[in-house]
């Protein structure tokens, strides 16, 4: 499995629109083959910082997700509302 932590700093005054678009993205993404978990979280001390926490079956599922119609349509709109973006992919370490 692969975990993705996508952290976003929003521009002032756009949170409502950002969450509206994110809900549509989340609803569509959760239907995808290989999506185990896909949710959005708000930073406790700064509500302008959001994080999308994702869990995927494998890299093929992520590639498919990134090429989906809803990603291609919604992500450009979300990018317009962000000041910054940080995306990190993680694999679990087996001991």
- What tens digit of pLDDT does each residue of 14-56 get? 999 999 999 999 999 999 999 999 999 999 999 999 999 999 9
Q: What angle do CA 55, 57, 62 make, to 5 degrees?
A: 75
Q: Phi and psi of 27, rounded to 5°?
A: -60, -45
- In whole angstroms, give the CA distance from residue 30 to residue 45: 28
Domain boundaries, the chain: 2-91
- In whole angstroms, give the CA distance from residue 13 to residue 49: 13
Half-sphere exposure of 88 (CA within 13 A, CB side): 6
pTM across the whole model: 0.90
- In whole angstroms, give the CA distance from residue 55 to residue 37: 5
How much is the pLDDT for 92?
Answer: 87
User: What value does the mean pLDDT of the chain take?
Assistant: 97
CATH code for the domain defined by 2-91: 3.30.70.100
């Amino acid at each position: 499995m692969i975990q993705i932590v996508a952290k976003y700093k929003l521009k002032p005054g756009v949170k409502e629109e950002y969450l509206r678009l994110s809900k549509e993205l989340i609803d569509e993404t959760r239907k995808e083959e290989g999506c185990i978990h896909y949710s959005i979280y708000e930073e406790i001390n700064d509500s302008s910082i959001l994080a999308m926490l994702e869990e995927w079956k494998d890299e093929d599922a992520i590639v498919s997700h990134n090429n989906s119609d809803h990603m291609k349509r919604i992500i450009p709109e979300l990018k317009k509302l962000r000041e910054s973006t940080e995306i990190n992919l993680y694999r679990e370490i087996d001991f």
